[in-house]
Structure 1
Amino acid sequence: MHAVTAPPGRDAPGDLAGFDPRSGSLLERAVFNHRLMVVLACVLVTLLLAAMAASKLRFAASFEKMIPRSHPFIQNYLAHKDELRGLGNALRIVVANPKGDIFDPAYQATLKKVHDEVFLTPGVDRAWVKSLWAPGVRWTEVTEEGFRGGPVMPDNYDGSAAATEQLRGNIARAGIVGSLVGNDFKSSMLVVPLLDTDPTTRQRLDVQQLSQRLEQLRQRTEAGGQASVHIIGFAKLVGDLIEGLRQVALYFALAAAVAAAIIWLYTRCLRSTALVMACSFIAVVWQLGLVAALGFELDPYSILVPFLVFAIGVSHGAQKMNGIMQDIGRGAHRLVAARFTFRRLFLAGLTALLADAVGFAVLVVIDIAVIRDLAITASLGVAVLIFTNLILLPVLLSYVGVSAGAAARAVAADPPAGQSTGQSAGQPAGQPAGQLGGFDRLFEHLQSFTRRRWATATVLASAGLLLGGYAVSTRLAIGDLDLGAPELRADSRYNRDNAFVTRHYSLSSDSFAVIVKTPNEGCLKYETLVEADRLAWALQQVPGVQTTLSLANAVRQITAGSNEGAPKWLTIARNQDVLNYGAQQASVNNPDLFNTDCSVMPVIAYLADHRADTLDRVVAAADGFAKAHDAQDPGNERRFLLAAGSAGIEAATNIVVRQAWVQMLGLVYAAVIVLCFITFRSWRAVVVAVVPLVVTSVLCEALMVALGIGVKVATLPVIALGVGIGVDYALYLLSVQLAQQRAGVPLTEAYANALRFTGKVVVLVGITLAAGVATWALSPIKFQADMGILLAFMFVWNMIGAVVMIPALSHFLLRGRGE
């Protein structure tokens, strides 16, 4: 990056008569010699993209966009998802009776209405819906004459005492207590698998609309106080996330107000503050318009990007405004000031934005669609900042300028040319010692870090923080660390519903399924059933597994039932006819235990939770069993394929996130190092610039451990964004310092000049960025709050690390060097 080597304004003529409009680069002449055309073009583009965003942009979320489609677990699931209904995207709706039990006729009437409405809801896979009112939910019993069975809900149910008693007996015989019926008999569950596309519209299932319909159903059902409804599942979770995004406008306004206040307090100039805010807002409009024009959507993750684009725009706009204010303060005409600031800072700003883009661009390598969308939308945002904040803002300031008071204050702390810097750095000319302003006193102290005593102490303290942070960061977990949905706060309606289901039902919604793949009719073979039974037993020994379910369980129970329930027949018979009969009976009551041609059979483990360590243990046990037993089957008669079920999909996501975490950090640091080397042309300077970023990254990981935040889809981008944006501080400070040193200025004075030229704005940028994202902490969506806290921490600490560690490291690596 090319930086200012002399204070702004000292090379700028004071009026237009002494300025040659043909000077400057081709880009500068094209922009400022045609200012009106540039402004009109930007106005036209803004109107077009605003209309595009208003008409086409929409919030959406897709189940398959949240999962890593190329991972083997997911490929196995997608290849067999039509045969594994209920083990992917499904809802669980619990209807509870707060005043009695499920045998109350009024409750059953309410449950029937809920079942019928859910059954007819677009996007529901109706053939696989389960509830007490679903004809496919059946009971079976053994009699002297053989098996007898039927639907759990009697055909002639009328709410009478006799019908109610029959229903009670059917529920007991069906063995659905703890799965479809609460353990306390005060609630029952509907299991509702969902289709990927709405069969009526042939469009992707609109989870937001589905969630709204479910909320309306909940309100109608609970209106009379006769029942309470609890809904969990991916579609409802995403619907609640999108609903929480309605508050985004409030946080955007709050972030804008905070940023405007910080800029105004620095400049005390209303017009320039308004222009900086307006150009940053225009960048957001352009970004959203381009996202809509290219067919992208905003989801609960990428909705955060406009906040970042706005904050980055404000920070870079402040740099340009600061340069123009200093030029005008020294007597330059506003047009001349704008052109000279553009001339000096365009390449610097462009390089800094490229560094910002690096933090976003590396996310494209992650095999999760929502993260890739975030990377693309953020890259678009950074691209438009080049036009709105590096070009449009200086052009607009060339028309309106800044107030005289702001211009005077901008140069008050910069000593005139030729004055010795022996006076405290940043102290205004003629201002007595002891009367320094806040920034000036800070800069006076910061110069001490270029001297050996303070430099040594700083390096040692930084090393201690690095080692301590690394020791804590080794406990950083991949995946969720909390019960329920960690994307939402613990007291959210969704998590309260999830807690209700967990308390009252034995089978949790966290299911991990191993797919047993065989040739047609292969799942009926004795050897296959025995192997599936052994897998189920192995999984049952894993801490965190509540119970397991497979065709082997059903066949064993039916075999015993066919022999008067004798316990000695509670086994898997070797006789194929017995196995065939057992499978036939199982298909009546449990059709989801195998597919129609008996070539796919899931072994399902129900987990106590979906925490990262629980999933790791289950994956290790299932994968170890699969590898060992696949190797023992040279005839390829059966294969154990991981994994389906909500927990299986989440386990695959955790694996991808774990790999992407290391890959992403390597790529972002490699890109930043290359960019810094191109900018500084000195490996020593690269070390000085990058070490503060490394310390902050490690401390951020330690903070995640302290706050109980795991690495997951929501938090994965934080470190990359923090590094990509955080290197801006080093680019601004170190480039000026090196330019001064190359001109023969000693290190202490060179760093003092760098602080005077860019130090205030560097601190301002850090505070503005942190304040902009810190407002996310108020969000009802927990992962947004987590991202806000972590990004604010990284922005502040990267700024502190830059102004403290750069001079300290320079003492050892760059002292007295013209590199």
Structure 2
Amino acid sequence: MVENMISNQLERFVELCIRRRKYVVAAFSVLTLVMAAFAARVNIKTVFEDLLPQGHAYIKVHNEFRQAFGSSNMVSIMLEAEHGDVFNPVLLGKVKAITTALQQVDGVNQFQIVSLASKKLKEIRGSTDAIDMRPIMWPDVPETPAGLTQLREAVLNNPLVYGAYVSHDLKATLITVDFYEGAADYRKIFPQIMKIADANRGDGVVVRVAGEPILYGWVNHYLPETLHIFLVTVACLVALLFIAARTWRGTVLPLLAGLTSAIWALGTASLIGFNLDPLVIVIAFLITARAISHSVQLVSRFDDELESGAPTTAAAARAAMLQLFKPGMLGVVADAGCMIVVVLTPIPLMHKVSIIGSVWVMTIALSACVMTPVLLSWIRRPQGHAHRFDVSPVLRRILAFAVRIVTSRARYAVLSCAALMFVVSGIYAFKLNVGDAEPGSPILWQNSTYNRDSAAINHQFQGADRMYAVVSGETPGAIKDPAVLRTMSAMQRYMAAQPEIGGSLSLADVIPAVKRVLREGNPRYQDIGRTAQENGELMYMLASGSDPGDMTRFLDAQARNASVTFFFRDHRGESIRTAIERLKTFIADHPLANAHYELAGGLIGVLAAVNEVILSGQIESIALALLVLIVCCAVAYRSAMAGLFFMVPVALSNTVTFSYMAWKGIGMNLSTLPVAALGIGLGVDYAFYIVDGIREELEHHDDLVQAIVTSLGTAGKGVLITASTLTVSVVLWCTSSLRFQADMGILMAIWLCISALSALFLMPAMVYVFRPRFIVGDAFSAAQRAPTAEVPAENPA
């Protein structure tokens, strides 16, 4: 009763769309032009704040103390001598030139520029009158041998400089600069810093640059290449569609569906003020591929209706739309539902990707499921083909092979192989790493300029990436307590046992140096003061000889909050998790009476928060996406078994993909999470068309074998065309200079292949073996449910 009512309403809707096609096309065209005007204004850029889970405890600490203790936008510039050491006027002159030039970079925190040529690095000397603190090399670069020797001795005798800003082999020196996060525009910072670096290369000096603004600057630098690859991919897709379809309608209409969906989605993004991150362009192609896939199915069914004797093209378009509207809409709703669950991840970038991705997918309902058949109804009755190259014999042979496998005892081999593949890939998928799986940035190739520079800096110095723990006192002056300072020092020693941590810095390193100077350099006195008053006097001596901002990287003005900064040589997910767990263990074992520790700031603290959110939300997101899929299938087919049935290709495609990610060292991070969520819907779209085709045929007769043959010959043809053309096209992303895009191209190809093979082989085999009621209906008696005589198919087409 309910199904008949829905069927009647669908028939009236289809009839209305075809009969009023002029008004439908006019309204859609006007709205598309309006959305195109807004889409042209969408901003393509990376906003770092979008990457941060703002509600996380680490992010709260980071936001509170980033201006004083350091943000996640720290940039490290290393100058390395090709011959000799850094103590030569040419190299030191370049250090001064870069230090001076950095003050003019947009968004720079001028109080956080630290180098040999800045006033921040000082040597501490004692005299009969006072403690003398003077810049180690400011304002002038020493030119004489005596001056260079004196500078060398000052560096070697200063543990806060030697090893931290001058390498242990004396061949390299470091410049660090921080940026205000609210004012950091990577599109401006990157070219300005690279221009400064390029201007100081040469004369036996190698300049290397690393840091998040530089990393995402490289991403923006490769944006023209990304757009070029995108256009080449589209051109390849056009050519392959034209070859496979042999008609202009089979080429132009699917592309038109993909283009209009993109226009509507980008227009929506512009209207609500969302930017488009360059890293999610690959997701844009993935969604566009879904629009093309749905449209190809409709064009293929339209051609089949004409061959079957439809009197007019309008009648063929009406029949195609009526038959495929349900599986098409089910695929759209499932894709959108699986995408929208990503919004639960408390990261602004994920919210944007989720909302725009869901809108983008939902527009396919109009651009492909409605507009493609409406436009087809206007086509004159086609005669002949656009070219002579015919791939249909190859397609028919593949489909005939699928029918022979499914309708013979080989179907059990298909089910067994799928089960084995699911178990093996599922077990291996547990090795998938949350966070970065390799040293260096996974966004770029390991041999990229950025990753080589980052590796060189990490090799020569303590580490380019930082994390700080904050010691927060209950009252002002709490940091002066010897117990607090000794605990800070003990924490540094404890964390130094982790190989990925190259060094650390805190107030507990500075106070002993001042005390030693007061005792004429006697190393026996290089220790923390015995009382809070003594430590306060030592801190006063230190601050009295400092410039504004010198002490802020160690503690605040009230001596209530202090930082313990750790330098990391890599930011792999495992390294970060180990460090966080070790810090928590130390804090639990060393409680403070009048203070407590807060974790964690800096880039590593931010990444730790992101990884924890992804780790806790990954299973939740996947589970919710699967739940959405089950509900959609259960509602569409009015059977709970339908949801479980369609989970099979989804589970298989995702375990295979996740195992590939684990094998290739692709971590689950901000970039891959939305692709993984969308892949759940991607893994089932093809199956909807095949299964619904079988179900539709069984409404006319009770021959299950013939129903499978007919469905594979019609819907299967569309699956083959879209899967093959899209798979070949996305492989072109492997040529990208951005490793992330190349990896995502391979992942999309794997998803498409597994989804297509599941739809052509696994799903029909499951229907034939298990014969679920929501597909075969109640017409099958016990005798009819018995295995049908296995007759090889002649031709599925």
So what's the TM-score if we normalise by structure 1? 0.87
Give the distance between the partners of 1:479 and 1:197, measured in 2 at CA. 25
Query: What per-residue deviation string (whole Å, max 9, x for no partner) do you get for residues 257-279 of structure 1?
Result: 23223322222112441232233
Q: Spell out the pairing of 1:357-376 with structure 2 (5 A cutoff).
A: 357-376=336-355
- Residue in structure 2 matching 1:639, options 589, 596, 602: 596
Show the counterpart of 1:60. 45
| Cα distance, 1:29 vs structure 2 | 4.8
Show the counterpart of 2:795. none
- Residue in structure 2 matching 1:347, options 326, 346, 362: 326
Query: What per-residue deviation string (whole Å, max 9, x for no partner) do you get for residues 493-540 of structure 1?
Result: 1112112212222x2012232111112111111221122222222212
Show the counterpart of 1:319. 297
Give the distance between the partners of 1:288 and 1:735, measured in 2 at CA. 32
Post-superposition, which runs of at least 4 consecutive aligned residues in structure 1 deviate over 6 A? Answer: none
Q: Spell out the pairing of 1:157-172 with structure 2 (5 A cutoff).
A: 157=141, 159-172=143-156
1:476 paired with 2:462, answer no
Give the direction of change, closer, same or farther, for the CA distance of 1:209–1:567 in structure 2 (3 Å limit).
closer
Show the counterpart of 1:244. 222
Give the distance between the partners of 2:718 and 2:235, measured in 1 at CA. 18
1:108 paired with 2:67, answer no
Moved more, 653-662 or 31-40: 31-40
Structural RMSD (CA): 2.9
Query: What per-residue deviation string (whole Å, max 9, x for no partner) do you get for residues 200-243 of structure 1?
Result: xxxxx321121122222233333x64643221111111110111
Show the counterpart of 1:138. 122
Give the distance between the partners of 1:263 and 1:344, measured in 2 at CA. 23
What is the percentage of aligned positions where both structures have the same residue? Answer: 24
| Cα distance, 1:103 vs structure 2 | 3.1
List runs of 5+ in structure 2 lacking aligned partners: 779-797
1:77 paired with 2:62, answer yes
- Residue in structure 2 matching 1:612, options 564, 569, 573: 573
1:308 paired with 2:286, answer yes
- Residue in structure 2 matching 1:811, options 763, 768, 790: 768
- Residue in structure 1 matching 2:416, options 453, 460, 463: 460
Q: Which amino acid aligns with 1:380?
A: V
- Residue in structure 2 matching 1:177, options 162, 166, 170: 162
Show the counterpart of 1:94. 78
- Residue in structure 1 matching 2:510, options 551, 554, 564: 554
Show the counterpart of 2:273. 295
- Residue in structure 2 matching 1:38, options 24, 29, 34: 24
Q: Spell out the pairing of 1:488-503 with structure 2 (5 A cutoff).
A: 488-503=444-459
Give the direction of change, closer, same or farther, for the CA distance of 1:157–1:607 in structure 2 (3 Å limit).
closer
| Cα distance, 1:47 vs structure 2 | 3.2
SS at match of 1:129: strand
| Cα distance, 1:671 vs structure 2 | 0.7
Give the direction of change, closer, same or farther, for the CA distance of 1:232–1:307 in structure 2 (3 Å limit).
same
Instruction: Answer yes or no: is the 8 Å Cα contact 2:81–2:204 preserved in 1.
Output: yes
| Cα distance, 1:402 vs structure 2 | 6.4
SS at match of 2:431: coil
Give the distance between the partners of 1:607 and 1:216, measured in 2 at CA. 27
Give the direction of change, closer, same or farther, for the CA distance of 1:24–1:371 in structure 2 (3 Å limit).
closer
SS at match of 2:108: coil
Give the distance between the partners of 1:647 and 1:296, measured in 2 at CA. 27
Give the distance between the partners of 2:669 and 2:9, measured in 1 at CA. 52
| Cα distance, 1:706 vs structure 2 | 1.4
Instruction: Answer yes or no: is the 8 Å Cα contact 1:484–1:495 preserved in 2.
Output: yes
List runs of 5+ in structure 1 lacking aligned partners: 5-21, 199-204, 414-435
- Residue in structure 2 matching 1:571, options 513, 527, 534: 527
Give the distance between the partners of 1:26 and 1:818, measured in 2 at CA. 25
Give the distance between the partners of 1:443 and 1:408, measured in 2 at CA. 23
- Residue in structure 1 matching 2:675, options 696, 718, 742: 718
Give the direction of change, closer, same or farther, for the CA distance of 1:454–1:682 in structure 2 (3 Å limit).
farther
Q: Which amino acid aligns with 1:616?
A: R
| Cα distance, 1:724 vs structure 2 | 0.7
| Cα distance, 1:449 vs structure 2 | 4.6
SS at match of 2:370: helix
Q: Which amino acid aligns with 1:41?
A: A
| Cα distance, 1:135 vs structure 2 | 1.6
- Residue in structure 1 matching 2:720, options 748, 759, 763: 763
1:393 paired with 2:352, answer no
| Cα distance, 1:144 vs structure 2 | 6.3
Alignment coverage as a number of residue pairs: 764
Show the counterpart of 1:542. 498
Q: Which amino acid aligns with 2:478?
A: G
Instruction: Answer yes or no: is the 8 Å Cα contact 1:626–1:641 preserved in 2.
Output: no
Instruction: Answer yes or no: is the 8 Å Cα contact 2:332–2:361 preserved in 1.
Output: yes
Show the counterpart of 1:123. 107
Query: What per-residue deviation string (whole Å, max 9, x for no partner) do you get for residues 139-171 of structure 1?
Result: 113456663320112445463444434433433
| Cα distance, 1:131 vs structure 2 | 1.5
Give the distance between the partners of 1:299 and 1:29, measured in 2 at CA. 41
SS at match of 1:182: coil
| Cα distance, 1:41 vs structure 2 | 3.3
Give the distance between the partners of 1:314 and 1:670, measured in 2 at CA. 26
Give the distance between the partners of 2:737 and 2:693, measured in 1 at CA. 43
Give the direction of change, closer, same or farther, for the CA distance of 1:148–1:586 in structure 2 (3 Å limit).
closer
Query: What per-residue deviation string (whole Å, max 9, x for no partner) do you get for residues 99-129 of structure 1?
Result: 5543332333333222222112120011221
1:627 paired with 2:588, answer yes
Give the direction of change, closer, same or farther, for the CA distance of 1:132–1:568 in structure 2 (3 Å limit).
closer
SS at match of 1:177: coil
Query: What per-residue deviation string (whole Å, max 9, x for no partner) do you get for residues 566-588 of structure 1?
Result: 34333333223321133234543
Query: What per-residue deviation string (whole Å, max 9, x for no partner) do you get for residues 553-599 of structure 1?
Result: 22233333322333433333322332113323454365411111111
Give the distance between the partners of 2:688 and 2:168, measured in 1 at CA. 63
Show the counterpart of 1:333. 312
SS at match of 2:293: helix
Give the direction of change, closer, same or farther, for the CA distance of 1:543–1:174 in structure 2 (3 Å limit).
closer
Give the distance between the partners of 1:28 and 1:808, measured in 2 at CA. 32
Q: Which amino acid aligns with 1:482?
A: E
| Cα distance, 1:546 vs structure 2 | 2.5
Give the direction of change, closer, same or farther, for the CA distance of 1:484–1:526 in structure 2 (3 Å limit).
same
| Cα distance, 1:284 vs structure 2 | 1.9
Q: Spell out the pairing of 1:672-687 with structure 2 (5 A cutoff).
A: 672-687=629-644
SS at match of 2:565: strand
Show the counterpart of 1:422. none
Q: Which amino acid aligns with 1:818?
A: G
- Residue in structure 2 matching 1:775, options 732, 735, 739: 732
SS at match of 1:93: strand
| Cα distance, 1:548 vs structure 2 | 2.5
Q: Spell out the pairing of 1:204-243 with structure 2 (5 A cutoff).
A: 205-222=184-201, 225=203, 227-243=205-221
1:149 paired with 2:133, answer yes
Give the direction of change, closer, same or farther, for the CA distance of 1:278–1:3 in structure 2 (3 Å limit).
farther
Instruction: Answer yes or no: is the 8 Å Cα contact 1:688–1:810 preserved in 2.
Output: no
Q: Which amino acid aligns with 2:318?
A: R
Give the distance between the partners of 1:450 and 1:52, measured in 2 at CA. 49
Instruction: Answer yes or no: is the 8 Å Cα contact 1:512–1:648 preserved in 2.
Output: yes
Give the direction of change, closer, same or farther, for the CA distance of 1:402–1:656 in structure 2 (3 Å limit).
farther
| Cα distance, 1:665 vs structure 2 | 1.0
Q: Which amino acid aligns with 1:374?
A: V
Give the direction of change, closer, same or farther, for the CA distance of 1:320–1:562 in structure 2 (3 Å limit).
same
Give the direction of change, closer, same or farther, for the CA distance of 1:251–1:43 in structure 2 (3 Å limit).
same
Show the counterpart of 1:517. 472
Give the distance between the partners of 1:347 and 1:620, measured in 2 at CA. 50
SS at match of 2:46: coil
Give the distance between the partners of 2:208 and 2:331, measured in 1 at CA. 49
Give the distance between the partners of 1:331 and 1:638, measured in 2 at CA. 82
Give the distance between the partners of 1:167 and 1:440, measured in 2 at CA. 80
Give the distance between the partners of 1:502 and 1:141, measured in 2 at CA. 31
SS at match of 2:182: coil
Give the distance between the partners of 1:792 and 1:531, measured in 2 at CA. 53
Q: Which amino acid aligns with 2:292?
A: V
| Cα distance, 1:749 vs structure 2 | 2.3
1:49 paired with 2:70, answer no
Give the direction of change, closer, same or farther, for the CA distance of 1:289–1:454 in structure 2 (3 Å limit).
same
